[in-house]
Amino acid sequence: MTFEIDIGRRAKLSPYVFGHNLEHTRSAVGGAGGLSAQMLRNRKFAGKPGKNSGVAAEWRGIGDRAFFQNGGRACYTRHIGCARMGRRNELQSQSVQNAHGGLCGLAQDGLCIRAGTRYEIRAVTRCSVPVTLAAELTDRRGNVVYAREEFVLAPGDWETHECLLAPFTDDGEAAVRFVFDERAEVIFGALSMMPEGHFRGMRADAVRCLSEIGPTILRWPGGNFAGEYRWKDGLLPSDMRGPLEAATEIETQPHSNGYDYHEISTDDFVALCREVGAEPFLTINLAWNDPQESAEWVEYCNGSIDTEYGRRRAENGHPEPYGVHFWSLGNEMGYGHMEGPMGPEEYASLARLHIDAMRQADPSIRLFSSGPYPNDEWAEKSAARLAEDVQYISLHHYAGAAMDYTTPGKIAETYRSIVGSADGAEQLAKRMRASLDRAAEGLHISFDEWNFWYAWYRPSCVGEGIFAAKMLHMLLKESVELDMPVCCYFQPVGEGAILIDDDGARLTANGQMFAMMRAHGGGELCAIRGADEYSAAATVKDGILTLTLVNDRYDEEREFRFNLPGADVCGELWTSEEVTPYTDFTRMPLAVSVEGGEASLVLPPHSAAKVTAKRI
């Protein structure tokens, strides 16, 4: 293929094309394999106890004659605000009564611990008489104790005890135990276990991977989870924040018994954004927060210390306003899976109340509206009606393909179906642009959720990595042509781009493509003539020309010929022998032949490349 890079025809890219979502769904944040460093499951005892045992889900009772039950009115966790959102079994505690003496307590196994790592253990308890409570790391059944610390509990109100436990050996099926032998009742309000060295309760290795991907904007806390979130709970200490029951358990919290344990607050999220270099993008709970609560969230983020919630932010250690500019008025409103108004007029009326209140707190914020777009009725009766205050309209798209990896022929067919799916996203965005243009002037598209369907429920592969690379090329081009300045992948952590397990965190093939493409961010997009759709993109930034190339062919190498105005040419190749699940790219140097300003290179099948040159 021969094409021409037109350096003279350039368009400034929005800095927010390389955005991502950080949503509290499935195991992206909480649960095994998520961003949270919390290792304990159901650490606040939400939900119903086990059959005939009285012990909360995920926990095991210790003591043959101990009596276990819900702690009843003795509950440590709580909610603040959002009182209209009725949920069940969120605020619970675990009572352990030792009426006959002998060792009793709680245990949780299936924990992966490493020698040389210290673990932060925390227990929030209350008791009826003085008790010596031991926190232990042991083998699965408690026969071998790897580390142990004792706490002296005093009767009365809730108290918190902390220690560091350092096991002397590795164990992939270890247990943590909280045990005592006095004749007493101990009520556990919350328990915690995290490896030392986390970033504000988040896994340091996952945060490093997120930095490597380089999100320029990060959307939080949802997505669907936005309709389940109570932002004011984040003002409480993490142990005290009430669990949040999912409205649709199978969709948002299938890996944690239908509950999220609110491990990340607004303060933590903003700190994460600053750590990875992203702009924060918040989604309000339009269905259940009242307009004043939404305005107070804006005030907490952006208000001066002279305001009530600006003062509370300062009291939490952050006197300077966060300056959160981007706010979404709910998520996917008008769909059956979201609570709240289902029609465009009802949505617009409710959104207007929140808009007016939020703008009183900060008139400078940029607002995004939601709906089942592209949809002419919603464009006319919602987007156009709100256009004076809301210029960004949310668009979501998930590609799909039947996947069969059983034979060589089926593998090739599956791969071609996956990598060809970027066409559907472009056509959807074009229909969205036409629908908005008919409704009102000056409306921008925010393509703030895109991915391959069910990426969160299966292993990733090079085929989906090539799809992601083609999507990024498409979004680079169409972000300019379709006035689509915000684009967010759904979602990197645990659901497509960053794989987290007991051995650490690493980029998948999708994540590798984001890391390669991030060099385009903030640059000027060059016109390209003669290239196939999605095969090439070029930008200029800080005197450097960056060209990325994709060969999406399954079994054919491809030669690329192009002009290359510049010097100090450097090439890198991302390649793989296979495209099936569990595959990643191998990164290596790429030979680029340059003569008289003309360049050529050859890419193997299903591979991608980056070429850089200093402008002369």
Find out whether 220 and 21 touch, Cβ atoms under 8 Å. Answer: yes
Arithmetic mean of pLDDT, 77-85: 89
Domain tally, the chain? 3
* Exposed/middle/buried for residue 248 (C-beta within 10 Å: 0-12, 13-18, 19+): middle
Tell me: do 207 and 174 sit in the same domain.
no
Q: Looking at the domain assignment, is residue 240 inside a domain?
A: no
How far is 193 from 286, CA to CA, in rounded Å?
A: 34
Q: Of 494, 521, 548, which one is at a domain's C-terminal end? A: 521
- Beta carbons within 10 angstroms of residue 442's beta carbon: 9
Sequence-separated (6 or more) residues with CB below 8 Å from residue 86:
none
Q: Looking at the domain assignment, is residue 296 inside a domain?
A: yes
pLDDT at 194: 97
Per-residue tokens: 595: 């003569």
Q: Looking at the domain assignment, is residue 243 inside a domain?
A: no
Tell me: do 92 and 203 sit in the same domain.
no
Full residue range of the structural domain in which residue 126 is found: 60-195
Q: Of 502, 521, 540, which one is at a domain's C-terminal end? A: 521
- How large a percentage of the chain has pLDDT more than 70? 100
Tell me: do 482 and 355 sit in the same domain.
yes
Tell me: do 351 and 382 sit in the same domain.
yes
The CATH number of the domain where 580 resides is what? 2.60.40.1180
Find out whether 15 and 218 touch, Cβ atoms under 8 Å. Answer: no
Q: Looking at the domain assignment, is residue 44 inside a domain?
A: no
* Whether the predicted pLDDT of 152 surpasses 70: yes
Tell me: do 290 and 273 sit in the same domain.
yes
Q: Looking at the domain assignment, is residue 574 inside a domain?
A: yes
* Exposed/middle/buried for residue 320 (C-beta within 10 Å: 0-12, 13-18, 19+): exposed
How far is 330 from 199, CA to CA, in rounded Å?
A: 28
The CATH number of the domain where 107 resides is what? 2.60.120.260
CA angle 534, 13, 333 (to 5 degrees): 80
Per-residue tokens: 340: 């709240």
Residue 306 Cα distances to 303, 361, 428, angstroms: 8, 12, 46
Tell me: do 599 and 486 sit in the same domain.
no
Question: What would you report as the CA-atom Rg of the chain, rounded to the nearest whole angstrom?
Answer: 26
pLDDT at 610: 98
* Whether the predicted pLDDT of 70 surpasses 80: yes
How far is 228 from 88, CA to CA, in rounded Å?
A: 12
How far is 362 from 322, CA to CA, in rounded Å?
A: 12
DSSP assignment string, 345-374: HHHHHHHHHHHHHHHHH-TT-EEEE--SSS
Mean pLDDT of the chain: 95
Amino acid at 95: S
Tell me: do 387 and 272 sit in the same domain.
yes
Write out pLDDT tens, residues 488-510. Answer: 999 999 888 999 988 899 999 99
Write out pLDDT tens, residues 545-555. Answer: 999 999 999 99
**Local confidence band at 482 (pLDDT 50, 70, 90 cut-offs):** very high
**Local confidence band at 195 (pLDDT 50, 70, 90 cut-offs):** very high
Tell me: do 570 and 582 sit in the same domain.
yes
Write out pLDDT tens, residues 351-403. Answer: 999 999 999 999 999 999 999 999 999 999 999 999 999 999 999 999 999 99
Tell me: do 436 and 517 sit in the same domain.
yes
Per-residue tokens: 524: 């000027």
The CATH number of the domain where 442 resides is what? 3.20.20.80
Find out whether 146 and 174 touch, Cβ atoms under 8 Å. Answer: yes
Find out whether 264 and 218 touch, Cβ atoms under 8 Å. Answer: no
How far is 535 from 461, CA to CA, in rounded Å?
A: 19
* Torsion angle of C-alpha atoms 578, 581, 582, 587, degrees rounded to 10: 40
Tell me: do 491 and 540 sit in the same domain.
no
Q: Looking at the domain assignment, is residue 256 inside a domain?
A: no
Strand partners, 354: none
- To the question of pTM greater than 0.85 for the whole model, the response is yes
Find out whether 113 and 145 touch, Cβ atoms under 8 Å. Answer: no
Q: Of 150, 180, 195, which one is at a domain's C-terminal end? A: 195
Q: Looking at the domain assignment, is residue 257 inside a domain?
A: no
- Name residue, tokens 């010097």: 567
Give me the sign of the Cα torsion angle 581, 587, 591, 597: positive
Q: Looking at the domain assignment, is residue 259 inside a domain?
A: no
* Whether the predicted pLDDT of 616 surpasses 70: no
CA atoms lying within 13 Å on the CB side of residue 512: 26
Tell me: do 480 and 536 sit in the same domain.
no
Write out pLDDT tens, residues 306-361. Answer: 999 999 999 999 999 999 999 999 999 999 888 988 999 999 999 999 999 999 99
From the list 165, 166, 197, 168, the residue with the least C-alpha distance to 178 is 165
Sequence-separated (6 or more) residues with CB below 8 Å from residue 131:
152, 153, 180, 182, 184, 186
